Amino acid sequence: MRRTDQRRAAVVALYQADLTGRPLGDLLARDATDFTRQLAEGVDADRERLDELIERHAVGWTLDRIAPLERGILRVSIYELLHRPDVPAEVSIDEAVEAAKELCGADAPGFVNGILGAVAREEATA
């Protein structure tokens, strides 16, 4: 299974958990790959820090104003930027922008790209 599909599976599970309040473990497919589980569970464990980064770089937006699917895409990508040195920043950002193009509204790709670019620059200088 392609990593693109595995990222999307993590985003979908996180999106469902965000909307329903159900435990993430109940929403991950039984046959979810290790990569999907690592992303989803990692995001869930580090959500507070990820959300803080999103809010800091989403100028003029509060977290609750960002659509749940976009939040999930951002969280997964930022998690990769922070915790997955095996995934180049450019790949994570590109995957997130492509997901936003396919799954979200017309303005979402630019919004996602802007936030992720700012986070990546901040982390590169940290």
In the chain, where are the structural domains located? 3-125
**Residues found in the chain:** 126
Look up residue 96 and give its two tokens: 């997130």
**Is the separation of the CB atoms in 57 and 115 below 8 Å?**
yes
What is the tens place of the pLDDT at every residue in 61-113?
A: 999 999 999 999 999 999 999 999 999 999 999 999 999 999 999 999 999 99
pLDDT level of residue 124 (50, 70, 90 thresholds): confident
> Which distant-in-sequence residues (6+ apart) come within 8 Å of 27 by Cβ?
13, 16, 17, 20
In the predicted model, is pLDDT for residue 125 greater than 90? no
According to DSSP H, which parts of 28-125 are helical?
A: 34-45, 47-57, 68-83, 89-103, 108-125
CATH of domain 3-125: 1.10.940.10
What is the tens place of the pLDDT at every residue in 26-61?
A: 999 999 999 999 999 999 999 999 999 999 999 889
